[in-house]
Structure 1
Amino acid sequence: MSGYFSSDNALCDGGRFLIVGLPATGLSKDEVNVIREVQPAGFIFFSRNLENPLSFRNLVDQLRDLVGHEPIFTIDQEGGRVSRLKAFGSEPPGAKELGEKADLELIRAHGELTAQLLRLFGLNFNLAPVLDMDTPEREHNSLKGRSFSSDPQEVCRFARAFIEGLKSQGILCCGKHFPGYSFAPCDPHLELPQSFKSKNELEAFEWIPFRTLQNLCDSFMIAHIRNLHLDPSGLPASLSSPIIDIIRKEWHFDKLLLSDDIDMGAIINHYSLKETLELSLKAGVDILLLCHRFHLIREAAAILSALPESVKEQAARRVENFRMHLAPPLPYSQEQFQHIDHEIYALREKVLGKERAKQRSIEDGKRSPVEIF
């Protein structure tokens, strides 16, 4: 297990395919022991982990000391309502707002400032940008305000600028959510949606940003959505070999693939933990996001460890290749945080104007306590 502690504990073998969420702003003794034992590939942070800037950075540093490899530290910092770090700072403009402004320099600046903020907290990976389309159906799924445009070519232009800004400051990116939530009739946080688009229709519209930006993206996130045209068995994309084979075998994308959060209603209402983990890794996903059920981490690692080496080999290789590009942490400075936070608010004013900038977005209460991806 290159890059991991040498250990006789099989949980460590399975942990390398998990990014896990934490319950609170600090770690209990039991949680410390679980992390030491499982050695997860990385950690994802939510508003429940964010008390203040210094305590958050201390949490990141503590986690780094608990694992014997370079950990993936990630967050959903898209802008707008999906901006975790607005828990103690300014809210950046959202993708739809930036797309309506249509200023590439402002979008690139958004990427740069986002990356500077993440680096300050020791993070190295942003689960952004959204490459889905802005559609009338967005009111019924999780995408409201999170898409750059209803035009796939505009999504390509704007997402490229944002990604370039991120990567200029050393933060890796994730294009999401393949094969697309754009026309999903329901919210996957709550239930499993189904797409009725044919492969030709998807290639002609929704997949354009994914195909166009696949060489620039460091990873893709695989959605929990069913499409019988792509997989007649009805498995959601995140568990489906035929759907993931489109990326792996037709597009020749050999970089990291992550599942969307496997704690979403789209999955937990229909599949057991064992089914989810086994089907997903066998289908070609490399890392699974286990965001809200910390108590299942040991069980999840044991299930993954028991899979044949032939299933784990390629996923392990891609995880290690991804890890090689992770940026090291920068020293924390409260003054630097305040400077970046000021710049983010100034950008917000440039995009929205002074009056609209004062109005912060809120999450849809129906989705509480599960946070939007």
Structure 2
Amino acid sequence: MSGYFSTTHTLSDGGRFLIVGLPGTKLTQEQIETIRDVQPAGFIFFSRNLENPVGFRNLVDTLRSLLNHEPILTIDQEGGRVSRFKVFGSEPPSAKDLGEKGDIALLWAHGELTGKLLRLFGLNYNLAPVLDFETTEQEHNSLKGRTFASDPHSVCSFAKAFIEGMHSQGILCCGKHFPGYSFAQCDPHLELPQVFKTKKELEASEWLPFKNLQNLCDSFMIAHIRNLNLDPEGLPASLSFRTIQDVLRKEWNYTKLLVSDDIDMGAIIHHYSLKNTLELSLKAGVDILLLCHRFPLIREAASILSSLPETIKEAAWQRIENFRKRLAPPLSFSLSEFQSIDSEIYSLREKVLGKERAKLRAPEDGKRSPVEIY
């Protein structure tokens, strides 16, 4: 096997398939030792990791120094309520607000400014955009305000502009959440949703943005959602060989990176053990698993993954390496540059929302609930 890992079953052999979340803004010695031993593919950051601009960039640089490879450093910076940097900065307009405005130039600018912000903090990958579309079910699932439009063709146009703006700054993107949360009637952060669309119906609606943007998207995120028409055994898409291999890999010939939605979500932890989750997901064709909220399980997760057959791991590893080669290097940090970008983000917010609405943040602002939406 190529790369910086041995073919022996070490923690780092399994760690390369994990992107992990951290508990806070600083690292304990025990956490540092775990990271050095496991050597995860990278890290995902949440509001709990962001205290102030300088401190966050220092955390990113410290994490980079602990790894023997170029890390994947990611965040959910969609806009609106899913904007991690609003802890110490301006809140960009939401996908819904941008879509209602309908100005492609503003959508591109949103992507460009998002890209500038991430690069400044040493990040290289954004878990955005949402390619689901607006439905009445969004009152009950996690998508409220996060989708560009109710028409999948409009979603394609708006998401394309956002992605191209991010790409202009070297930030890689992730289209989410395949095969679609649009009609999920419960929040997967809490419980496993089920949809009943036939494959033909999915191809005519939910899958249009994914299909049309598959060449532009650097990766897709696989959802925790059950559909017996795709997998008669009832496995959620994120664990389903039939959904991932038969549809994405074989029919669509999608050869790029596939990332699981967070395996710490209720949709998974209420139904599957850590061992079953990891084994089923990697065997199904997912390349990287997000382990966002249970840092103490990182060693166990890496050990489970390391024991899987090399024939399963090799294909995923090659896709991760191909992705890694495209990661942009970090830029030098400047607090004044952050303030300049932040000012531009607020200006964009005013252009989209108007001066009065721009003063009002999303309802969740300032509240750190046990479940962070992504």
TM-score w.r.t. the length of structure 2 is 0.98
Residue 362 of structure 1: how far off its partner (Å):
3.0
1:166-185 equivalences in 2 (<5 Å): 166-185=166-185
Structure 2: 5+ residue runs without aligned partners? none
> Is the alpha carbon distance of 1:188 and 1:364 closer, same or farther for their aligned partners in structure 2, counting shifts above 3 Å?
farther
Note the alpha carbon deviations across 1:216-260, whole angstroms, 9 max, x for none: 000000000000000000000000000112000000000000000
Shift of 1:370: 1.6
User: CA offsets, 1:182-222, max 9 Å, x none?
Assistant: 00010000000001100000000010000000000000000
In structure 2, the residue matched to 1:66 is: 66
Distance 1:233 1:365, change over 3 A: farther
Give the aligned residue type for 1:256.
L
Superposition deviation, residue 57 in structure 1: 0.2
- Structure 1 residues 298 and 287: alpha-carbon distance in aligned structure 2, compared to 1, 3 A threshold: same
Give the partner amino acid of 1:239. Answer: L
Letter in 2 for 1:342: S
Q: Which residue of 1 aligns with 2:25?
A: 25
- Alignment pair present for 1:209 and 2:170: no
Counterpart position of 2:329: 328
Q: Give the aligned residue type for 2:220.
A: F
Equivalents in 2 of 1:331, 1:364: separation in Å?
29
- Distance in 1 separating the partners of 2:315 and 2:54: 38
Residue type of the alignment partner of 1:360: R
Aligned Cα root-mean-square deviation (Å):
1.4
In structure 2, how many angstroms separate the alpha carbons of the residues matched to 1:9 and 1:200? 42
- Distance of aligned partners of 1:340 and 1:366 in 2 relative to their CA distance in 1, 3 Å threshold: closer
Contact 1:5-1:69 at 8 Å conserved across structures = no
Residue matched to 2:268: 267
1:96 and 2:96 matched: yes
Runs of 4+ in 1 over 2 A off after TM superposition: 1-9, 362-368
Q: CA 1:7–1:243 in 2, change beyond 3 Å: closer, same or farther? A: closer
Letter of the 1:124 counterpart: N
Q: Kindly indicate whether residue 320 of structure 2 is the aligned counterpart of residue 294 of structure 1.
A: no
Give me the identity figure in percent: 76
What amino acid is aligned across from residue 319 of structure 1 in structure 2? I
Q: Call closer, same or farther: CA 1:275–1:364 in 2, change over 3 Å.
A: farther
**Pair 1:365–1:140, CA change in 2 (3 A):** farther
Deviation at 1:4, TM superposition (A): 2.8
Counterpart for residue 346 of structure 2: 345
Question: Partners in 1 of 2:15 and 2:209 — Cα distance?
Answer: 32
Code of the aligned partner of 1:331:
S
Instruction: Work out whether residues 3 and 69 of structure 1, in 8 Å CA contact, stay in contact via their aligned partners in 2.
Output: no
Give the whole-Å Cα distance in 1 for the aligned partners of 2:252 and 2:74: 26
Question: Scaled by the length of structure 1, what TM-score is found?
Answer: 0.98
Q: 1:262 to 1:200 in 2, by over 3 A?
A: same
When the two structures are aligned, how many residues end up with a matched partner?
Answer: 373
* 2-structure distance, mates of 1:243, 1:54: 42
Is the alpha carbon distance of 1:338 and 1:365 closer, same or farther for their aligned partners in structure 2, counting shifts above 3 Å?
A: closer
